[in-house]
């Protein structure tokens, strides 16, 4: 049969550096009373060891256990430094790994809360953690996020570089990722060749640079990493292929239009009449904007009529339904 003391130590294993004195079930809250271990501690000012107790204080910290709110009331000692020339006359002892300075959660709970705040951020942890017995607010989530140390920057072997708009048409930036893992690397204000070249020059080590079709980024890679191989990413490859196919189809639209009968009716007659009016005006050196005003058409419509060499190119190929209906018997 397991001893109650051993069971308590197993459940609250994160408090192994403390001496547990009592556990009280108060309904929604479990109160744990503990104290620090006796012995000499080191003065943070001069480094001298001391066992002289100036007074006792009580600190409260939260502990995760059983999905309920658990509070640990720890009696700690305020020690007196024996050195007369030390600037720190009295100090409060700390419990490494359990309680940090100015914290109301033990170190293990702080690590769990930081993981949840990092993955969810904002209001989501404030809704989730109280259900697990951890009192948490969105303001605390922001403070926890700001305290998480940023990982060290490692230059990837295959960096991906592209631009994005902070304010479309006004402010742009350059984002760099690890093209192999998709991990975010850095964000640099601006999207000029000099800015990208400076970043690549300050962070050497890239062997292959995956970029878009921008000439500025290509020039930046040639300046900073002349030996690196430049490749295009998957999205820009498919986009370029689609644009090439669209231009090729548009170039042969007249040939395709000849293979089908032209549309008849009022709409086809109106199209042919407007095409003739636009080309007559253009033959008299009338500007596009003036043509739009005279004919009561939009400027883009006039441009489309002006680009067409014949009225048949303005007619769209009729769409064939994906599942044509069977003719009635």
**CATH code of residue 204:** 3.30.420.10
Domain membership flag for residue 320? no
CATH number, residue 276: 1.10.10
Q: Tell me: do 264 and 202 sit in the same domain.
A: no
- Please determine, for residue 93, whether its predicted confidence score (pLDDT) is greater than 80: yes
Q: Quick one: CA dihedral 183, 186, 191, 195, positive or negative?
A: negative
Residue 237 above 60 pLDDT? yes
The pLDDT tens digits for 19-57 are 878 888 777 788 888 888 888 888 888 888 888 888 888
pLDDT at 1: 44
> Residues 94, 121: one domain?
no
User: In total, how many domains does the chain have?
Assistant: 4
CA distance 305 to 311: 8
The contacts of residue 308 (CB under 8 Å, 6+ apart) are: 275, 314
Tokens 């003065």 belong to: 43
Percent of the chain at pLDDT > 70 equals 86
Q: What is the pLDDT of residue 321?
A: 52
DSSP string, 155-205: --SSEEEEEEEEETTTEEEEEEEETTT--EEEEEE---HHHHHHHHHHS--
Please name the residues in contact with 23: beta carbons below 8 A apart, sequence gap of 6 or more. Answer: 8, 30, 31, 32, 33
More confident call, 176 vs 2:
176
* pLDDT for residue 141: 81
Dist. CA 60–CA 286, nearest whole Å: 85
Query: Is the pTM of the predicted complex or chain greater than 0.85?
Result: no
Clarify whether residues 85 and 55 are in a common domain: yes
Domain that holds residue 120: 110-147
Indicate the length of the chain as a whole number. Answer: 329
pLDDT tens sequence across 113-148: 888 888 887 788 888 887 777 777 888 888 888 888
Are residues 186 and 115 part of one domain? Answer: no
Task: Look at residue 152 and tell me if it is in a domain.
Answer: no
91 lies in the same domain as 116: no
Residue 323 lies inside a defined structural domain of this protein: no
pLDDT at 104: 74
Residue 54's closest CA among 21, 10, 91?
A: 91
Do 116 and 48 lie in one domain? The reply is no
Compute φ and ψ for 152, nearest 5 degrees. -65, 145
SS3 208: strand
């Amino acid at each position: 049969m397991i001893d109650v003391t051993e069971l308590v130590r197993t459940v609250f294993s994160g408090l192994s550096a403390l001496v547990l004195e009592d556990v009280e079930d108060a309904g929604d809250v479990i109160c744990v009373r503990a104290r620090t271990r006796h012995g000499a501690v080191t003065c943070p000012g001069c480094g001298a060891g001391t066992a002289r107790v100036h007074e006792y204080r009580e600190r409260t910290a939260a502990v995760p256990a059983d999905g309920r709110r658990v509070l640990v009331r720890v009696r700690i000692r305020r020690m007196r430094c024996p050195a007369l020339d030390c600037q720190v006359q009295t100090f409060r002892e700390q419990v490494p790994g359990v309680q940090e300075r100015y914290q109301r959660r033990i170190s293990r709970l702080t690590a769990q809360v930081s993981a949840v705040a990092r993955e969810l951020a904002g209001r989501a942890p404030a809704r989730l953690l109280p259900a697990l017995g951890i009192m948490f607010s969105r303001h605390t989530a922001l403070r926890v996020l700001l305290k998480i140390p940023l990982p060290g920057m490692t230059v990837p072997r295959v960096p991906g570089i592209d631009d994005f708009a902070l304010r479309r048409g006004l402010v742009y930036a350059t984002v760099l990722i690890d093209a192999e893992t998709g991990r975010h690397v850095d964000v640099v204000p601006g999207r000029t060749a000099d800015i990208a070249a400076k970043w690549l020059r300050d962070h050497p080590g890239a062997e292959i640079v995956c970029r878009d079709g921008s000439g500025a980024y290509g020039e930046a890679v040639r300046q900073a990493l002349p030996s690196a191989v430049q490749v295009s990413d998957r999205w820009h490859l498919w986009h370029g292929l689609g644009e090439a196919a669209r231009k090729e189809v548009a170039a042969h639209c007249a040939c395709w239009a000849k293979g089908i009968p032209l549309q008849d009716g009022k709409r086809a007659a109106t199209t042919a009449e407007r095409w003739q009016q636009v080309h007559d005006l253009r033959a008299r050196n009338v500007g596009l904007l003036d043509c739009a005003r005279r004919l009561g058409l939009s400027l883009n419509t006039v441009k489309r009529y002006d680009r067409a060499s014949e009225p048949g190119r303005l007619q769209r190929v009729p769409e064939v339904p994906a599942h044509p209906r069977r003719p009635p018997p």
